[in-house]
Structure 1
């Protein structure tokens, strides 16, 4: 990991395409500005972890055949058993 010290208003460049600028410093928080081409996806790391966990949970759901059967059973329960 590269560790740099920057002051408010200073920036770093990544591969001549991405510029990260320190916009403000507030107690133990900093405000970053990121300039990058539109095709570069920028996501907060905690959001990426959440997305990966949600995808993992979704992949462990029953297959579509079992899901279709479960939906039919719900329909039967709601209609009082007549279908």
Structure 2
């Protein structure tokens, strides 16, 4: 992991397309702005993990459903 120190209004570049800028520092909270192309999804980590879990659950459900449908079709 790369660890960098930044001050208010300073930024970090990630590749050519992404810039992360320190917008405000208020107590123990830091507000950041992220400038990135629309094609790049940006989520808080807890939201990202929830999306991954839901996608995994949906994929598992779809697989189970296909298996059940295949078994039912074979019984006909």
TM-score over 0.5 for the alignment?
yes
Alignment TM-score, normalising by the size of structure 2: 0.72
Q: Residue in 2 aligned with 1:21?
A: 21
In 1, the alpha carbon distance for the partners of 2:13 and 2:29 equals: 21
Residue 45 of structure 2 is aligned to residue 56 of structure 1? no
Q: Any unmatched runs of 5+ in structure 2?
A: 69-76
Q: Residue in 1 aligned with 2:11?
A: 11
Q: Any unmatched runs of 5+ in structure 1?
A: 67-83
Q: Residue in 2 aligned with 1:32?
A: 32
Alignment TM-score, normalising by the size of structure 1: 0.67
What is the aligned length? Answer: 67
Please identify which structure carries the higher helix content. Answer: 2
In 1, the alpha carbon distance for the partners of 2:36 and 2:59 equals: 32
Q: Which runs of 4+ in 1 moved over 3 A?
A: 59-62
Larger Rg: 1
Cα offsets for 1:9-55 (capped at 9, x unmatched): 10011112111100001121110011111212212111111112222
